[in-house]
Amino acid sequence: MRSAIIIGGGISGLAAAWELRGTTDVTVLESAPRVGGQMRSAYLAGVPVDVGAEAVTALRPEAVGLVHEVGLGEALRDPARAATVVWSNGALRTFPGEHVMGIPVDPVGLTGTGLLSDGGIDRLRREEALPARGLERDVAVAEYLAGRIGREAVDRLVAPLVGARDGASADRLSLRAALPRLAAVADHGGSVIGALRTVRTAPPPLGGAAQGLQGGLSRLPRVVAQASGARILTGTRAQELRRTPSGRWRVLAATADGPLVVEADAVVCALPAPAAAALLYPHAPGADAELDSIRHAGTAVVTLAFSRAVMPKRIPQGNGYVVPPIEGWATREVTFLSNKWQHLAAAEPGLFLLRISMGHIEEERQLALPDRHLIRTAVRELRQALGAVGEPVAAHVMRWENALPQYDVGHMERVARIHSAVRELPGVDICGAAFAGVDVAACVATGRAAALRLLGAAA
Ligand SMILES: Cc1cc2nc3c(=O)[nH]c(=O)nc-3n(C[C@H](O)[C@H](O)[C@H](O)COP(=O)(O)OP(=O)(O)OC[C@H]3O[C@@H](n4cnc5c(N)ncnc54)[C@H](O)[C@@H]3O)c2cc1C
């Protein structure tokens, strides 16, 4: 393989370009005016803030590794350490002790927190005595856990955390795809809480489980694009994929200056699933329908700046809170940026910055409203949780439509079918957030793996 076209200039596609550097002549086609996809920053009151992904996990190596490889390691920043806080039953309530995706390692510790009713805590405490029943098929997170820890704990503790992560609904989310460690416990039957207590892994690395970048996480895709040496064509929307008589691949694209045709030995589709489906049809029968069946959640990120001087109540403590979908709010998660990230507090000490993630796969109506309504709703729900906060001095709304792929029950099998259909096409591969994890580290892993497969096949 001497040349490759990568379609999609998000972090998945750019990770593939990075992997191919030095061996392959790479062209990246990106429909937006900039690379980075869902890794993007904006200026709020003069401070660069992430309005898409804001932190990469430090619990697996791929994203942090790429940051170091492209020379950004010194810009990595640790968040402040803080307990998980949940808005529940009319108050902000702090999660006591350790938990894994909302499942407490010590249910007794919940007593007196107001997070669950006495009955709910009692149900949790009895979980270890429930009969062991192994899992025979993939099920929804809520279906499995409700039978073990009770529906109240699922709604009040687990659902807000899985919702905060992917905008997902615990009632549809695949246990195997989203919580593989828990699924492994479920496969053998037995107690979830007992197993969590024994498989509880080593403490997170110094500095915590996730890291941000000074200047914004969106620096990463920009630097990767540049360092990869690839030809980056922004404002270029791929519209059709054709096989040439000599077995190469030709991409027909649209640009502001008119149509563009690019040809190469290989193609990597690093796109949201529906966009990949449109290009792969009709080359990979079956794959396009499977890709189209992956639902996507929309989300909006409202970033607000308050003047510390006029904030009527004391400055909130901690890193923010999550809101269970059962509360019926538009807010899914609130992040106190100025508490969580020291570099943001230092950038504008007179301001208190916070970010509100809104929308949920089962509740997207509010996202259709104009920006001013979203800001008003965000501030109203903020006041319900924090009391009087005054009026923001600056606001930014970023809408992400159909952004978060939903790993519904059966997702792993669907992904396996997609990969096997695509592998029938010589010189074509696929990667992105729809396949092996939505987080940036998983996207980097899929991009690099797709590039390595193409290199391996060409060797
Ligand atoms: C609000 C929000 C917050 C998040 N927070 C975090 C976080 O803190 N930590 C974390 O790890 N993850 C987070 N994520 C998830 C993570 O950011 C994404 O899963 C990841 O960035 C997706 O990368 P990707 O390259 O697969 O897809 P994308 O970023 O969607 O990139 C795909 C690219 O393809 C382009 N494209 C589409 N169609 C075409 C076409 N026909 N031709 C050419 N180009 C096309 C798009 O413009 C886009 O740039 C967050 C996501 C969102 C939306």
Q: Which of 38, 268, 446 to mutate to test the pocket of ligand 1 (most atoms within 8 A of CB)?
A: 38
Q: Which of 261, 271, 332, 448 to mutate to test the pocket of ligand 1 (most atoms within 8 A of CB)?
A: 271
Please say whether the beta carbons of 260 and 236 come within 8 A.
yes
Judged against a pLDDT cut of 60, whether residue 27 lies above it is answered with: yes
What pLDDT shows up at residue 206? Answer: 47
Give the DSSP H or E segment for 239: strand 236-243
Pocket of ligand 1 (CB under 6 A): 7-13, 29-32, 37-39, 52-56, 237-238, 270-272, 275, 299, 301, 400, 403-404, 432-433, 438-440, 443
**What's the rounded Cα separation, in Å, for the pair 356 and 242?**
43
Place 400 in a pLDDT band, splitting at 50, 70 and 90: very high
What pLDDT shows up at residue 98? Answer: 85
Closest approach atom of ligand 1 to CA 54: 8
The closest alpha carbon to 96, from 87, 88, 108, 80, belongs to 108
Q: What are phi and psi of 239, to 5 degrees?
A: -115, -30
Burial class (CB in 10 A: 0-12, 13-18, 19+), 201: exposed
**What's the rounded Cα separation, in Å, for the pair 390 and 392?**
7
CA torsion angle for 444, 445, 449, 450 (degrees, to 10)? -40
Residue, of 168 and 395, whose pLDDT is higher: 395
Domains of the chain in start order, with CATH, are: 3-39+220-294+407-458 (3.50.50.60), 41-81+207-217+297-405 (3.90.660.20), 99-199 (1.10.3110.10)
Across residues 306-318, what is the average pLDDT? 83
Judged against a pLDDT cut of 80, whether residue 200 lies above it is answered with: no
What would the pLDDT profile of 321-337 be if each residue is shown by its tens digit?
A: 999 999 999 999 999 99
AA identity, residue 23:
T
CA of 40 to the centre of ligand 1 (A): 9
Quote the percentage of the chain above a pLDDT of 70.
97
**What's the rounded Cα separation, in Å, for the pair 343 and 426?**
47
Residue, of 367 and 39, whose pLDDT is higher: 39
User: The tokens 């709604």 sit on which residue?
Assistant: 155
- 199 contacts: CB under 8 Å, gap ≥ 6: 181, 185
What pLDDT shows up at residue 285? Answer: 85
Closest approach atom of ligand 1 to CA 279: 41
CA of 194 to the centre of ligand 1 (A): 37
**What's the rounded Cα separation, in Å, for the pair 282 and 35?**
28
Closest approach atom of ligand 1 to CA 432: 26
Strand partners, 357: 301, 333
Mean pLDDT score of the chain, rounded to an integer? 92
Across residues 373-380, what is the average pLDDT? 95
SS3 341: coil
What would the pLDDT profile of 77-99 be if each residue is shown by its tens digit?
A: 999 999 999 999 899 999 988 88
Side-chain-facing half-sphere of 67: CA atoms under 13 Å: 26
Closest approach atom of ligand 1 to CA 253: 42
Closest approach atom of ligand 1 to CA 301: 1
Closest approach atom of ligand 1 to CA 434: 26
Place 207 in a pLDDT band, splitting at 50, 70 and 90: very low
Distance of CA 6 to the CA centre of its chain: 22
CA of 337 to the centre of ligand 1 (A): 21
Burial class (CB in 10 A: 0-12, 13-18, 19+), 308: middle
Please say whether the beta carbons of 185 and 199 come within 8 A.
yes
Please say whether the beta carbons of 208 and 55 come within 8 A.
no
Closest approach atom of ligand 1 to CA 442: 11
Place 42 in a pLDDT band, splitting at 50, 70 and 90: very high
Residue, of 195 and 326, whose pLDDT is higher: 326
Across residues 160-172, what is the average pLDDT? 87
**What's the rounded Cα separation, in Å, for the pair 249 and 245?**
9
Query: Ligand 1: which residue has its CA nearest to atom 5?
Result: 53
**What's the rounded Cα separation, in Å, for the pair 249 and 269?**
12
CA of 311 to the centre of ligand 1 (A): 34
Closest approach atom of ligand 1 to CA 403: 53
- 168 contacts: CB under 8 Å, gap ≥ 6: 162, 178, 297, 361, 404, 406, 407
Query: Ligand 1: which residue has its CA nearest to atom 15?
Result: 439
Query: Ligand 1: which residue has its CA nearest to atom 7?
Result: 53
CA of 454 to the centre of ligand 1 (A): 22
CA of 37 to the centre of ligand 1 (A): 4
CA of 433 to the centre of ligand 1 (A): 7
Closest approach atom of ligand 1 to CA 400: 53
Burial class (CB in 10 A: 0-12, 13-18, 19+), 230: buried
Residue 446 corresponds to which tokens in the numbers above? 């899929």
Query: Ligand 1: which residue has its CA nearest to atom 26?
Result: 432
Query: Ligand 1: which residue has its CA nearest to atom 30?
Result: 37
CA of 279 to the centre of ligand 1 (A): 18
CA of 76 to the centre of ligand 1 (A): 20
Cis amide linkage into residue 282, ω under 30° from 0:
yes
**What's the rounded Cα separation, in Å, for the pair 356 and 381?**
10
Q: Where are the alpha helices (DSSP H) in 179-295?
A: 180-187, 192-199, 219-228, 273-280, 287-292
Place 201 in a pLDDT band, splitting at 50, 70 and 90: low
Closest approach atom of ligand 1 to CA 29: 43
CA of 39 to the centre of ligand 1 (A): 6
What would the pLDDT profile of 238-250 be if each residue is shown by its tens digit?
A: 999 999 999 999 9
**What's the rounded Cα separation, in Å, for the pair 390 and 325?**
26
